[in-house]
Amino acid sequence: MTSFDAKLKTWSGRSEKSCYDDDLTIGQIIFEKLATDPDRICQISHTENTTLTRSQLLHNAIKVASYLQAQGFHEETDIVGLLALNSTHVAALAYGCMFNGTPIFCIDPCTCENTTKSLFGLTKPRVIFCDEESCNVAQRVATLCGAEVFIIYGAVVGVKHIHEILQGSLPINYRPASFSRGIDRILAICKTSGSTGLPKAATVTNSRKIFEIHRNLSSNDVQYTPLTITCLVGFRYLICGGIYGALQIIDRMSSFEGARFLDLCEQYRITWALLYTPQMSPIVNSPAISVKKLQSLRQLLFVGACAQVLVLQKLQSHLPKGAVLQLLYGMTELGSSVANNNSVQLRPSSVGELYANIRMRVVDDKGNLLGLNSTGELYCHTGDTWRGYFNDPTSSAQLQDSKGWIHTGDLGYFDDNNQLYIVGRKKEMLRYNGFMYYPQEIEQVILQMTEVAEVCVFGIWLETTEDAAAAIVCAQPNSKLTSAQVVDFVREHIRVEYKQLNAGVLIVDRIPRAQNGKVQRTEAKKIFLKEMCKNESDSEFKDTFMSSGLTAGLTPQG
């Protein structure tokens, strides 16, 4: 339940105490859980056909921790790098790092090499674990930062393998490292989405909020997510499985497939799943969808954005009675989700209520605190210590003020029921003929079209009018949707001229997204502009893109 203090103009989640001592690390908590019921199966890799019991996973993690200890990994600056997808031994590596108090930094192998070099160059991992496919990149990066390379999935001749660590002897009476206020120690480093700029290396502490928001999980649950620990939500999934003892299912999909997800749900009787919002459409559009396939699912969480009402309705109709669809809202720098909406069909455009111990304010451009139904930048206070961006105090100080408030950069408001709504990013605010607007306002209208699967709206800078709205749209399978139909639909549903798609629409096969599911507007604009240059002679291009003198926007300045 979210409450509003009208005097302080501050919204707060309920007050709640953790049941864990502040000196404990998450590694210590997971260690104790894995030590109980040692023969219970805790992980199944569908792709690799492997099964691990709690004792097997615990022993593997202890061996990783012992290796790190022997190699002198004692400080928070002694980083372990990971350039890999999900596989059997990723959990042991991550838990082993947690046992030793060693931060782990995982970067998705699909990340461009220059970004990987930049982030690992900043954090300087002493050892990098990688998949066979990403070994060449890992070796080039390792040369720059003096790191050793280990293969964690597959095999490469002449390169060490994690099996060399796991085949070592098990130390007697091993105990995880302990620290004063372990809650504040750096647990991991996560790459930010880079949705409005270059990705940063954000630290994540041992905050209890990472897992305590999912207290309804238990050892009776079967978990699944296609997300990797390259993003905070994927990392949180791994932590929750370890702490609450749920069975975790692993599958190395190169790209998400709705039919395969449905098969996994049926085969393993998955009860708890975590997806990106765009991954819900392939599920509901799959010919294989049925009540039978999803009969075990009791909770499906999704992150990245609000979902279309039609998608929610279709999915809910195939879920068992009482099953919950839940949208989570947060950002990497906050260390966890800070709000959730478990009534998405009633309020599909809201991100819901604040989690326990979260405080939030709405602030205008002059620093004034705003009240109900007023849009401004969201400031958030988690009550925890944030250790900042790794080795980047300037950017850290720009994000968090001296009183501990994180300036999220998100624009939003709370309604009369204290429900939170996100309307855009502060950096994404656009101006057309002197009038301000937000891309999300137009996106919400376009998503009302049944033929539309996904959309991204952005501004194309024109000398005469400034930011003219443009969109790339991904249509539903087998749809004959045209750019002109989208332009006309917006004109029918929005009256004001400055919110029209004055720069046109491009129909595409996919919307560019970061690894955490967030839309990359800069990349979307590049796709749009590139296609503009190719299609200047096309008649539809002239009709939809050139009517506003759009050639002035081929070199965007805003």
Torsion angles phi and psi, residue 212, rounded to 5: -70, -15
3-class secondary structure for 22-60? CCCCHHHHHHHHHHCCCCCEEEEECCCCEEEEHHHHHHH
DSSP of 309-335, one letter per residue? HHHHHHHHHTSPTT-EEEEEEEEGGGT
The pLDDT, as a whole number, for residue 545 is 45
Residue 178 and residue 99: Cα distance in Å, rounded?
9
Q: How far is CA 332 from CA 94, 106, 335, in A?
A: 18, 13, 5
Which residues are CB-neighbours of 492 under 8 A, at least 6 positions away? Answer: none
> Alpha carbon 531 to chain centroid distance?
29
Q: What angle do CA 305, 204, 208 make, to 5 degrees?
A: 90
Torsion angles phi and psi, residue 150, rounded to 5: -125, 140
The pLDDT, as a whole number, for residue 461 is 84
The DSSP code for 476 is P
The β-bridge relationship of strands 272-276 and 324-331 is unpaired
Q: For 415-457, how does the pLDDT look when each residue is reduced to its tens digit (9 = 90+)?
A: 999 999 998 888 877 888 878 788 988 998 999 999 999 999 9
Residue 362 and residue 348: Cα distance in Å, rounded?
21
The pLDDT, as a whole number, for residue 40 is 98
Q: Which of these, 144, 151, 238, lies nearest to 187 by C-alpha position? A: 238
The pLDDT, as a whole number, for residue 198 is 73
Look-up of token digits 């007023």: 374
Q: How far is CA 556 from CA 10, 435, 461, in A?
A: 38, 19, 5
| Residues linked to residue 218 through DSSP beta bridges, in sequence order | none
Residue ranges and CATH numbers for the domains of the chain are 19-209+227-242 (3.40.50.12780), 435-553 (3.30.300.30)
Which stretches in the chain have pLDDT values below 70? Answer: 194-197, 515-516, 535-558
Taking a C-beta distance cutoff of 8 angstroms, is the pair 236, 188 a contact? no
The pLDDT, as a whole number, for residue 289 is 97
Contacts from 143-147 at CB under 8 Å and sequence distance 24+? 144/117, 144/120, 145/120, 145/121, 147/81, 147/120
The pLDDT, as a whole number, for residue 546 is 44
Taking a C-beta distance cutoff of 8 angstroms, is the pair 372, 380 a contact? no
Q: What is the CA radius of gyration of the chain?
A: 24
CA atoms within 13 A on the CB side of 151: 15
The pLDDT, as a whole number, for residue 50 is 98
3-class secondary structure for 412-473? EEECCCCCEEEEEEHHHCEEECCEEECHHHHHHHHCCCCCEEEEEEEEEEECCCEEEEEEEE
pTM for this model (two decimals) = 0.85
The pLDDT, as a whole number, for residue 556 is 28
